[in-house]
Amino acid sequence: MTMCPECDGELGIPEDAVQGEIIPCPDCGAELEVLSLDPATVGLAPEVQEDWGE
Amino acid sequence: MRLAMLSSRIRVEEKLLLAELERRRVPFDRIDDAELTFRLDQREFPYDVVFERSISFGRTLYTLQTLESWGVRCINRAAVVATCGDKLLTSLALERANVPTPRTALAFTPDAALKAIEELGYPVVIKPVVGSWGRMVARVNDRDAAEAVLEDRATLGSWQQQIFYMQEYVDKPGRDIRAFVVGDEVICAIYRESEHWITNTARGGCASNCPAGGAVGETALRAARAVGGGILAVDLAETADGQLLVIEVNHTMEFRNSIETTGVNIPARIVDYVLDAAERSA
């Protein structure tokens, strides 16, 4: 079971998740980045940078 | 033909594009720009074509400039990314091509900027030259507000925020338009409605279908060509007297709210363009 690094809540990683995707923690709402899939690991997503966008 | 998609944070858009490439069984690799290193003396890169979808303007620009100098085909091209990612360069390109755009001024000190603002006439919008999603965009309605914003930027901002880019405020009818241009075709368009004057869907604007032909399509295509063409999202505003003005052009467009809204399979159309361009460059 993958845990949220912010609140230690249990995370369900979607089956179609891809590395680099952002998923919210259902418990604390923290934005988490999927760092790897096998095994599934997450980290706190980097903060939005000044030059991010479209 | 060795294809790679340059990416960073995987948004819904990147996920849809990855799924489309996989659905077509196109051989490709994802490159995470966080893991990239370049030896500038070695000029080696294991791909022929790179499709840019990184969320970072800086990383995208420098990656593409490096790769193009080595003969790698980039979609969008580095020059297009450079133009679209910098509002000043975009404005210059639009003006050069006589594409209608709001009256815009440039200055480098708060005093000079204030003079330019008062010449444009209130309200005026002050924007950072590099930035997206409506961030740091300030509408100033009078001299007091202008002085406050300019002083804040001069005191607290980075050097880039002290490049004062100012546009006349366009009194939109509660909405603006985003037109999606892929190559020489405006594939679809949406209205973005919001009670707030910043209508980005990232800031809560609601999307509805907009006919992509007529003046909208024609103006969007002219704008896309003015910045160099490719896979682009053109943002337009309607004035009270019925003119269409191009506000900006986006080079790594977001479209998650526009597929169902328009009925157009935007990721598929983008992948069509990428694969066609890649084959032609092989």
Run means of pLDDT, 10 residues per run, chain B, 282 residues: 95 96 96 96 95 97 98 98 98 98 97 98 96 91 97 89 95 94 98 83 83 97 98 97 96 96 98 94 76
pLDDT at B196: 80
The 3-state DSSP class for residue A27 equals coil
Strand partners, B238: B244
Looking at the complex, report in whole angstroms how far the Cα of residue A26 sits from the nearest Cα belonging to chain B.
18
pLDDT at A41: 94
Q: Tell me the one-letter amino acid at B134.
A: G
pLDDT at B198: 77
Looking at the complex, report in whole angstroms how far the Cα of residue B14 sits from the nearest Cα belonging to chain A.
9
Which residues in A lie closer than 8 A to residue B10 (C-beta atoms)?
Answer: 18-22
Which residues in A lie closer than 8 A to residue B251 (C-beta atoms)?
Answer: 54
pLDDT at B205: 78
pLDDT at B280: 87
Q: What is the arithmetic mean of pLDDT over A27-51? A: 93
pLDDT at B239: 95
How far apart are the C-alpha atoms of B131 and B147, rounded to whole Å? 21
Which residues in B lie closer than 8 A to residue A16 (C-beta atoms)?
Answer: 15
Q: For chain A, give the mean pLDDT.
A: 93
pTM (2 decimals)? 0.94
Single out the residue of B108, B140, B138 nearest to residue B121, CA to CA.
Answer: B140
Nearest to B55 among A18, A21, A52 (CB): A52
Under an 8 A CB cutoff, do B55 and A21 touch? no
* A-B Cβ pairs (cutoff 8 Å, strict): 55
A53 in B contact zone (CB under 8 Å):
yes
How far apart are the C-alpha atoms of B95 and B112, rounded to whole Å? 22
Q: What is the arithmetic mean of pLDDT over A5-28? A: 93
Under an 8 A CB cutoff, do A52 and B56 touch? yes
User: Cβ distance B83 to B93 under 8 Å?
Assistant: yes
Q: Tell me the one-letter amino acid at B180.
A: F
Which residues in A lie closer than 8 A to residue B87 (C-beta atoms)?
Answer: none
Single out the residue of A28, A25, A22, A29 nearest to residue A52, CA to CA.
Answer: A22
Nearest to A51 among B130, B233, B251 (CB): B130
Under an 8 A CB cutoff, do A54 and B15 touch? no
Which residues in A lie closer than 8 A to residue B18 (C-beta atoms)?
Answer: 18
pLDDT at A27: 93
Under an 8 A CB cutoff, do B252 and A54 touch? yes
Q: Maximum distance among all alpha carbons in chain B?
A: 59
Measured from the Cβ of residue B40, the count of other Cβ atoms closer than 10 Å reads: 8
pLDDT at B157: 78
Q: Which of residues 11-50 of A touch B (CB under 8 A)?
A: 16, 18-22, 33, 45-46, 49-50
Q: Which contacts qualify for B62-70: CB closer than 8 Å, 24 or more apart?
A: B63/B6, B63/B33, B63/B36, B63/B38, B64/B6, B66/B38, B66/B40, B69/B43, B70/B43, B70/B44, B70/B45
Question: In which band, very low, low, confident or very high, does the pLDDT at A45 lie, cut at 50, 70 and 90?
Answer: very high
B255: left (phi over 0), alpha (psi -120 to 50) or beta: alpha
pLDDT at B243: 95
User: Cβ distance A31 to A45 under 8 Å?
Assistant: yes
Which residues in B lie closer than 8 A to residue A22 (C-beta atoms)?
Answer: 9-11
**HSE-up of B190 (CA within 13 Å, CB side)?**
24
pLDDT at B68: 97
